[in-house]
Structure formats: structure tokens, C-alpha cells
Structure 1
Amino acid sequence: MSDPQLEDLSRDVDEAVRRRARLVQDVLSSGPARAAREHGVTRQTAAKWAQRYRTGGAAQLSRPAGRRRTTQELRRAALTAPLWMPTTKWSTRSIADALGVSQSFVARAWEAMRSGTALSDDLTGAMTGRQPAVLGLLVTSEHAVLAFQLTPVTRREDPAPPARVGPAVQRVLRTVLASDLVRREVPATRPADVTPFWDEVLDAADPDATLMAIGSDAAPMPAEVSVQGVCRDVGEWLALFPLFVEWGPLLSPAAALQLENELRTWARTPRRAFTWVRPTTPAGESRGPAARAAVRHLGPERALADEIVVTIRQGIAEGRLAAGDRVTERYLAGRLRTTRAQVRTAMRLLERDGLLTITTGHAAVVPVLTTNDVVETYAARRALGTLVIRAAVRWSPQERQSVEDALDALERCASTGDAHRTGEADIAFQNALAEASGLVRIAPMLEILADHLRMFIAVMGLDYAYPIDAMLRDDRAIFEAIDAGDGEVAAERWRVKIDEAATYMLGQLSAGRSRPTGRS
């Protein structure tokens, strides 16, 4: 069973702790040699931290109790806070509380984001008679690059005042600039890995627009990018913030929210370069992963709701919570360093999805698993998954690669012999299939049902350990059938997989009820 404390540390405030936890996770799933290559450390370092974890648990990866974080470490944590805070509705106060510093310390750390530079002046000159809009963001191990299009603006005798940039978009801009500070955690990026990004940027640009790109460091750019800016250091990169605010709304609210959610998700485990390109078609019409993410992750409340589910599952795994227990808003707000009002809104989303039941007294009840819950959930996944798989036969090369990556991750987890970790990878594979289908309404439904399965498995605990070889066998067969263009064979393999999984869970649920729980 995977260690929930290790999962917690992979999202820790302390960057060093996060890196150790992620390194150990990869050592356990793929071995020290491969993990060392992906994290840019020696094999001895990877083996050392894995051994400390095996002998002393997750606590061995935390900062020593007697060692205080340096001012530089705290400043870096404040600058990267938009990426690791549990909710996007952060403030200087909530960041200060999370770090144990004053609000004025956070404000001083952000001073670099309040003054212009020589590069800002040059870029302002390039804006004359043009309106900028963000086309895409690329973050590799070597640099971060923001791509823009500059559209000619028709002169008016009585020009309208520039549109104001709202607080939500300003938070997104800070998140974008913070991404450069975590790029050293990204494995080495090959030039071929970023070619698709530039191809998508060129496709997304308007025909009459001028292309501009700003890099946090020197970066190769295609010839079509006629206006280029390169920052001398991280301070100059962060100092772009007031310039971007002055330029007006660079992103629509929907695109900004989409970019923020994808960037924060990536920053938790930045195992590859990050790429995001503005959708070229209206929401719900694109087959790209960005459009689908906007359907599932509708806002900061949804992101916080996902964190609440994870927190409850971890509480169950650690024995602090059990089926039927009440979880209060106060407890969750304290664990997630956010407000009770935000927790309340997120809990309503979870109640709507059927993951929690809200009771009087501002609390939720941990689900008590029933036979009907299992039957209904698996029946829904069986039907919706069949539609997804038939649609996935038309996947694009990029979508196929994302599914193959998920299958590779499943095989690495299977090699460890950890049934629970492999089960999580199996669900991730199924979600990757859903995203590759292009069904923008059905895919999010399957993701919500996957959250139900995770909650069921957490409640069942050690009673549930679905056979690893069955997961591998079924997922390989489904992938190979889709890859061969045979949607009917793939759909039949899916139905067999779901039926067998439902039968197993019902059997374990029945067996678990016939034994004493051991809980007083």
C-alpha cells in the first residue's frame, strides 16, 4: 500500500522535501538508476534517500527539526507559492501563514514583480499600435518561454481606456512567472520534445498577427517569431509582471483558469516539460487535452474539492478516519490552509458528485460502502467506458502518446508488486483513455466515477488488492486493440475488465463485513 505521508510530502511547502519525496516515489516505481536520470542526481543519492525512507519512513525525508529554513529558501517558497498553495484563492496572508512568516516578508519577496527593467521598456516599444495576447507557455529544464501574438489595433480619435486586469488573472500571471523557478526539477528536455509546442502556437496564431516570444533564458525559437526577448536573470523575468498587467487582458478568464489549473497540476510532479497552447476552437469543440481539462476543472472550488477528497482518503489510510465518521469544515480548512467558506463551497461540489454527504454542523460524512454503490458505479463506468473506447480509436498521435505513457507508468508500478500503487496507475490509465477520446462531457463523468472508486478502495483498506497481473493484461489488450483500430474488440475487453473488477470488489466487501473491524 502506498504511503499517504509520502504523498503528503510530495506536495510539501518545502521544495527540498518535495524533491526528495518525488525521488523516492520514482525509485520505488522504476528503480534507482532510472529515477536518478530523471531527477538529475547520482544513483547513490537516489539509493540513499530510498534507503532512509525504507528504514525510517517518510519522516526521514522531512527537514531536520533543528534546521530552520534560510531566508533565501523562504523567499523562494513565497515566490513559488502560487504553484503549491492548496487553493488558487491564495493571498499574502494565507501564504504567510503557510510559511510561518509575516505578510510583509511575502510582500518583500514579491518586490521583484513590481518594477520595470530595460527589457520591459524594449517590449513596450514593440507594443505600439498592437494588442498582445498570450498564445502559449513552455517550461523546460533550460528555460520558460511565453509566446504572444500582436494584433494591429485600429486607431480611434477617442480611444477607449485600457481594460483592467482582474485579481484572478493577476494571480494567473504570478503563477505563470513562478513556473520558471521550478524548472530545475524538470528532467533534461530534448529539442524534439518542444517542436510540437511551436507547431501548435503557429497554428493558433491569427493570420495577420505578429508573433512575439519572451524567454527566461536563451531559447531556440522558430523563424516566424519576429519579436524576441530574453531575460538576463530571474529578477528580470519576474519583473515582467507589472508590464503584463499594463498590457491589459492577455487571456480570457476561461483560458486563464485552464492554464492555471494545468500549470499547478504539472508543478506537483514536473517530470517532463510543460506545454500549454491557447485553444483555437470554442470550449467543448476541441479534441485537445486543454479543452477537456476546462470541463473537469471548472475553477478553484473544483481544485480544492479534489484536495479534500485526497485528504479524506489519506485520513482513512492512516486510521484517523473510517466509514461513517464526520469530517468538519474546521478540520479541512486547517489541513489545507484555506478558509471554511471555501471548504464549504468545495464540499457542496463533492456532495453533488455523490462523494460526500453533508450533515448539520458544517460537516461531511465519510461514505459507508454498500453493494448498491459498487454495482451502480461499475455499471456506469462499463457503459461510459465503452463509448470512450470506441471514440478513442480516432486518437491523435499526441493523445496516443499520453495513453502509452500511462500504460508505461502502470507497468513500472506493477514491477514493484504494490497492488494499491498499481491500482492507482490503472485508474490513471483509464482516465488517460477518457481524455484521448475527445468526448468532452463523458470523459469528466468517468473521472468523477474514478474518484468514487478511489474512495471505495480507501474505505476497504487492506481488504482490497486487485490482482496486478489482471490489470496489466486487460490494459495492454485494450491499448493494443485501440491501436489496431478495432474499437469493438477493445470495448469487449473493457467490459470484461469492469465486470471482473466489480465481482472482485463485491466479493471483498462481503468478506470484509463478515470479519470484525478491529476499530473500537
Structure 2
Amino acid sequence: MSDRQFEALSRDVDEAVRRRARLVQDVLSLGPARAARAHGVTRQTASKWAQRYRTGGAAQLSRPAHRRRTTEELRHAVLTAPLWMPTTKWSSRSIADALGVSQSFVARAWEAMRSGTAVSEDLTAATAGRRPEVLGLLVTAEHAVLALQLLRPPGREDPAPPPRVDPAVHRSLRTVLASDLVRREVPATPTTGTEPFWDEVVNAADPDATLMTLESQAAPVPAEVPVRGVCRDVDEWLSLFPVLVGWGPLLSPAPALQLEGELRSWAREPRRAFTWVRPATGAARSPGSAARPPMRHLGPERVLADEIVAAIRQGIAEGRIAGGDRVTERSLAGRLRTSRAQVRTAMRLLERDGLLTITTGHAAVVPVVTTNDVVETYAARRALGALVMRAAVRWSPQERQSVGESLDALERCAATGDVHRTGEADIAFQNALAEASGLVRIAPMLEVLADHLRMFIAVMGLDYAYPIDAILRDDRAIFEAIDSGDGEAAAERWRVKIDDAATYMLGQLAAARARPSGST
């Protein structure tokens, strides 16, 4: 099947057709066994659709010829387009072209996103005089819930009109609302399964803020949420769009792009509930302090690059990819439902970061971890982190609060005993410290090096279990040293932390090499 045929089928209005196209594409590039595992189907199913394509061509993957697309199917495809279009820079024209409909049809489908309803009027009244901000998003089989906080603008009884919202944030908000239209593909989620999400939302809220939710259907929410907007149907949920836009910048572009990227990735295979909580950014500043740029530019190319890394790590975890394997532009474009040109651009970013090596044949090689890789990466983190620790003693009260919240989140993860979540929370704590240091060039370097460590762990196939108590001990000591103004003590505690982690990683690498091939 040509790339053009694959692209056409991957944008088909029929979700079943899109899934078949992706399945066959993976069968042709990975083989039926790996493709079946990746898509959660049997090998017989994977082979069946591949054989139908080989014998009858692309038409065998499409809907029966006698069945025409219904108006409701086309409307659904328009409304969910932000989740499946090849690029985040979609427009009404590009959606119309992809579906073979007119732009006026797209406009009519979006009509529900322009008309006011009773719930939108109630929300406008409930938020009068307060500034809403998005805290998180939860999508389960039963409902979609957008969690917000309401802040009172300082020093003003009559708040100024909200500033113009970035167009990229507009598109992200449409993507958020579209998530409710695919939630029926998510397995049922027990109420207890959403408790960690709400814990993070409550923790992320400003102490003086009022919590609020927007719900596509009535959902169980904590007692800390006094303001709720519950929609009766999908049209009321979609009608929230002009309300959200009218509230002004609910999210800055960087977290909006992150949320959109994670939603698009989830929507390809929504096999679990979706949760996202706005990362702590330390954006609140003391009066007169200069705002800093985000730690790492999260443009569309970087978001896609992060999705590629996540896809490779998942492939490694599932046994479909190993260190030294080639990963083609074609297979990644099919898996991530984007164009090969966009994948090529993102892969160049990853090559620049040292996470992949581009080869001939429009492919890249997954790195094979060596002792030198580990030593070099930890040496760089050791040196750069020490600079961060010394500079962080100048943090503002707001920046100290942001770092403290990251440490609190780490302790909550540690209490669960989940090694993976605690490790990710440890990295989030380190990133918060880097941003609080004010060293705007070093912070993104540390984030890239953290990606290297994640890739090392995936490629080595480790049951990585660095002691949780050691993580807590070191991070508490670092925080206390910085809080007391002793940058040298914090830098020394950092060096000890990194040296211990490097020793552990090298030991795991040696054990992995000594392990017989094929053993687990």
C-alpha cells in the first residue's frame, strides 16, 4: 500500500477502517506477531487483514461499498478531528479536505461550539470577577471532567478584559472537548482509580483559589470542589467552547501543547482513563521579577519528538524493539498517525539530543547502551546539577513553594511504593529545582539528560528499582540545604545522589550483560 493510500485510510471517517489501516501497516513493517501485540488483537486477526490487503488492495480495508457515510458519522469525524488529524496545525479547510466534505459542513458541525446554553450562562455568572485557570483533565468511560481553579485578580474590584488567547490554545481547547466523544472506547474505571488524579489537582491549586469542575456527565468529585458545571448532553459539553475562550488564557501555550500532545497520543489507543494535571511551572513571581521562558520549547515538533520517544520505549517494553534495531519513518508515522515529513523533522531533534542515530533508508537506530554512555550522562548531570543547586538558593517565595509542592508530590508517590512513579516524581522535583535556579540554558539540558536515562532503562530491559528511601533522603536533604541558603551543602548532597545513582545503573548494566540471551 502506498503512503498516500495509508494516509487516506488513516483519516477515514470510520474508526474501524482507521484501525485496520494502522494494523496492516504494522503487519507489513513489524510482522504479524509484533503487530498483533501492539494493537491488542490476535495474530490470526492481524494476518487476516494483511492477507485481505495483499489479495484485494486497499478497498478490502474500507467499509462495504453499499454502506455510505451517514451525516452523523461525518459530524462525529469533524468534531473528533483534533484528535486524529496528522498535525496539530489543522484548520476547517484541512479537515474538510481530509474527509471529502465542504467547509460549510465543518462549520455546521462546529455550530454546537458557538451557541450558548443554560449551563454556559450559569458558568459565566459563577465566575464573574474571578480568573479561571485549568488544573487538570480526566476522561473515563463515564465522563470527561475539566478541573479549574478560580482566582481573584489582585488589587482590582473590576477585572480587566481578558487578553487575547493564543490560537494554539484555541485548538487545544477544541481537542479537550473532543476527548469526550471517544471516551466510550475506554474500559470502565472504578472511582478509586481516579483518586490520585484528584489528589494532584487539589495539591496543584492555589491555597486561596476556589476549585471548579466542568463535567460532560455528573461525576464523583471531592468535597473540596464547591463550583460545578454539569452538562446534560454532548451539545451542552461542546457549547462550553465559547465560554472557555471568553475566560481568557486558561493555559499558557507550553502546557496547552503538552496536554494536546498527550490527548492525541492517548486517543490512538484509549485503553485506559486519561489523566493530566498541569505541571508546576513556578510561573508565579514576586512583584517586579522578570518572567522566564519555559524550560524546554514545546512546539509541535518537540511534542512529536517526545511521542516518538514514548512509542519507542513502549515498543521496547513490549519486546517489539531492542537496542540496535532500526525504526523507520514509515512505521512511526503509521503508529503516531502523522506524516513522514513531520516524523523526519522530529527525529532530527532526537538525533541532535543524542537519543537516536539517523541512518540511510529513512530510519533511525535505537541506541545500544554502553558503560561510556552511562558514565558520560551521569557526569554531565553531576556537573550541571551542582550549578543548579548553588543558584537555587536565590529562589523567590513562589519558586520555593513550587519546589516544595514537587517534593510533596514525590513523598505521596513514595508512600504508594510505586518505583516507576516515584522515579518520575524525582525527575519532576529536579526539573522544578532547575527552573527555580534561573539558569535558563542549563534547565533544558538536564531535561534532555533525564530522557537519556529513561531510554537507558528501557533499552537495558531493567527491572529498575532504585531504592525509594534513598530518593526521599537525598531530595529532602537537598531541599533543606537550599532552604537554609547553603548552596555548597546542596551541591555536595547532589553529587552524592548522582554518584550513588550512577553506581546502581552501572551495576544493573553489568547484570544485564551477564544475563543469558532471552532470559527475563
When normalised by structure 1's length, the TM-score is: 0.59
Please give the per-residue CA displacement for 1:106-134, whole angstroms capped at 9, x wherever unaligned: 959953445433789999xx9xxxxxxx9
Q: What runs of 5+ residues in structure 1 fail to find an aligned partner?
A: 1-12, 14-56, 66-70, 127-133, 154-162, 200-212, 218-229
Q: CA deviation at 1:379?
A: 1.0
Please give the per-residue CA displacement for 1:159-178, whole angstroms capped at 9, x wherever unaligned: xxxx9996x45423424655
Match of 1:270 in 2: 275
Query: Aligned equivalents of 2:367 and 2:476: distance in 1?
Result: 32
Match of 2:480 in 1: 480
Q: Report if the CA contact (8 A) 1:400-1:436 is conserved.
A: yes
Match of 1:509 in 2: 509
Seen in structure 2, the aligned counterparts of structure 1 residues 345 and 117 have a Cα distance that, compared at 3 Å, is same
Counterpart residue identity of residue 346, structure 1: A
Classify the secondary structure of the residue corresponding to 1:117: coil
Match of 1:259 in 2: 256
Match of 2:333 in 1: 333
Q: CA deviation at 1:339?
A: 1.6
Match of 1:308 in 2: 308
Whether 2:198 is the aligned partner of 1:187: answer yes
Q: Report if the CA contact (8 A) 2:406-2:425 is conserved.
A: no
Q: Report if the CA contact (8 A) 2:317-2:458 is conserved.
A: yes
What is the RMSD of the two structures over their aligned residues, measured on CA atoms? 5.7
Query: Aligned equivalents of 2:79 and 2:149: distance in 1?
Result: 18
Q: CA deviation at 1:304?
A: 0.9
Counterpart residue identity of residue 313, structure 1: R
Query: Aligned equivalents of 2:494 and 2:401: distance in 1?
Result: 22
Q: Report if the CA contact (8 A) 1:177-1:237 is conserved.
A: yes
Counterpart residue identity of residue 377, structure 1: T
Seen in structure 2, the aligned counterparts of structure 1 residues 277 and 462 have a Cα distance that, compared at 3 Å, is closer
Match of 1:398 in 2: 401
Seen in structure 2, the aligned counterparts of structure 1 residues 431 and 278 have a Cα distance that, compared at 3 Å, is closer
Match of 2:10 in 1: none
Seen in structure 2, the aligned counterparts of structure 1 residues 87 and 398 have a Cα distance that, compared at 3 Å, is farther
Classify the secondary structure of the residue corresponding to 1:324: coil
Classify the secondary structure of the residue corresponding to 1:364: strand
Q: How many residues align?
A: 404
Counterpart residue identity of residue 404, structure 1: L
Q: Mapping of 1:97-112 within 5 angstroms? A: 110-112=109-111
Q: Report if the CA contact (8 A) 2:282-2:402 is conserved.
A: no
Q: Report if the CA contact (8 A) 2:323-2:459 is conserved.
A: yes
Please give the per-residue CA displacement for 1:20-52, whole angstroms capped at 9, x wherever unaligned: xxxxxxxxxxxxxxxxxxxxxxxxxxxxxxxxx
Classify the secondary structure of the residue corresponding to 1:307: helix
Classify the secondary structure of the residue corresponding to 1:187: helix
Please give the per-residue CA displacement for 1:48-96, whole angstroms capped at 9, x wherever unaligned: xxxxxxxxx9999xxxx9xxxxx99999998577479896346789999
Q: CA deviation at 1:439?
A: 3.0
Classify the secondary structure of the residue corresponding to 2:461: helix
Q: Mapping of 1:358-437 within 5 angstroms? A: 358-393=358-393, 394=395, 396=398, 397-413=400-416, 415-416=417-418, 418=419, 420=420, 422-437=422-437
Query: Aligned equivalents of 2:341 and 2:78: distance in 1?
Result: 24
Match of 1:498 in 2: 498
Q: Report if the CA contact (8 A) 2:389-2:490 is conserved.
A: yes
Q: What runs of 5+ residues in structure 2 fail to find an aligned partner?
A: 1-14, 16-36, 46-70, 126-130, 138-144, 154-158, 184-190, 217-228, 267-272
Q: Report if the CA contact (8 A) 1:326-1:366 is conserved.
A: yes
Q: Mapping of 1:107-186 within 5 angstroms? A: 110-117=109-116, 136-137=133-134, 150=160, 168=168, 170-175=170-175
When normalised by structure 2's length, the TM-score is: 0.59
Q: Report if the CA contact (8 A) 1:382-1:495 is conserved.
A: yes
Match of 1:22 in 2: none
Q: Report if the CA contact (8 A) 2:302-2:349 is conserved.
A: yes
Query: Aligned equivalents of 1:422 and 1:122: distance in 2?
Result: 42
Query: Aligned equivalents of 1:473 and 1:376: distance in 2?
Result: 25
Percentage of matched positions with identical amino acids? 59
Seen in structure 2, the aligned counterparts of structure 1 residues 317 and 194 have a Cα distance that, compared at 3 Å, is closer
Q: Report if the CA contact (8 A) 1:324-1:368 is conserved.
A: yes
Counterpart residue identity of residue 434, structure 1: A
Classify the secondary structure of the residue corresponding to 2:496: helix
Counterpart residue identity of residue 352, structure 1: R
Query: Aligned equivalents of 2:203 and 2:422: distance in 1?
Result: 30
